Structure 1
Amino acid sequence: MVVLMSNDGVIFTVEESAAARSQTINQMIEDGCSDGNIPLPNVDSKTLEMVIEYCTRHDKAERMAEGAEAKAAAEEYDAELMKVDVKTTLFNLMMAANYLNIDSLLKLTALAAGNAVKGKEPEEIRDTFGIINDLTPEEEDQIRKDNTWSYE
């Protein structure tokens, strides 16, 4: 078992095989740096709980003998996991997946973010992610002129 500590001090005990899905954590385990618990200063407890659930489900699915059934269950879980608030939860999951180096979760969150903005205008995308527009109208017009191909 591996003990992980979120940036807000919450402790999680995780099976090593699930925790090792994170290349960052796996490297710490292999290097003997875990020293009883592994602090994760860039991940809050709510996000870490979701990451652990993701890693645990995928670890179990990978170890199950009925590969196709297990894979389908994991994909169904992934689809449900991505039904989260884009502005905060999805963003936090993406940042955690990147920090923890969990390639499959990073790809999943990137796909969900892409789907969240698919077909939207720049103003809608800014609203979706809570991005403040710091461009002047003149700068926006110039960008649109320089990139007409992307507005077709």
Structure 2
Amino acid sequence: MNMELDDLPPRYRVQAEQQLAARKRRAADPLAEAVKQAKAAGRDFDSRGEYEFYTGTVLPKMARGEIVECEQHPAFPLFPAGEYGTMKLRPIRYTADFRLTYADGTVEIVEIKSKFVRRMQRDYPVRRRVFLEQIARPAGWKFTEIITAEDKDDLKRWRELAKEG
């Protein structure tokens, strides 16, 4: 026996219509759906760009055995904390989005930045350069930077949706 909305009493019909509309809104929001899938993956992603890189590039290569290790958000110390005269100097580090180790031993550092974040983090080019010269180049690591089209609102909304439980 199939029931239609019109078969329900008015009070229950309104409730059912509201539930259907809410389901449709959630399904029509690709960002919310991506956050939901990212949470299901059991990893923390700072942006949709990171999530899409992980699911579109890293996971398939891991499944094929090309990538043997994936570390998310590895931090590399560039300068220790210290003092200069009366000034306290904070430690400086570079945190990448991914460190990928390939089956042949190659290590690749992947940085995913939106145009917006790249512009706002004024010290990023300097930290990147110091990391490349002091750590990546001497170790023979490959460095890949991916620039996404995400804007301020996309990033803010991703963080808000990711905090919701």
TM score, norm. by length of structure 1: 0.27
User: Based on CA coordinates, which of the two structures has the bigger radius of gyration?
Assistant: 2
Higher fraction of helix: 1
TM score, norm. by length of structure 2: 0.25
Higher fraction of strand: 2
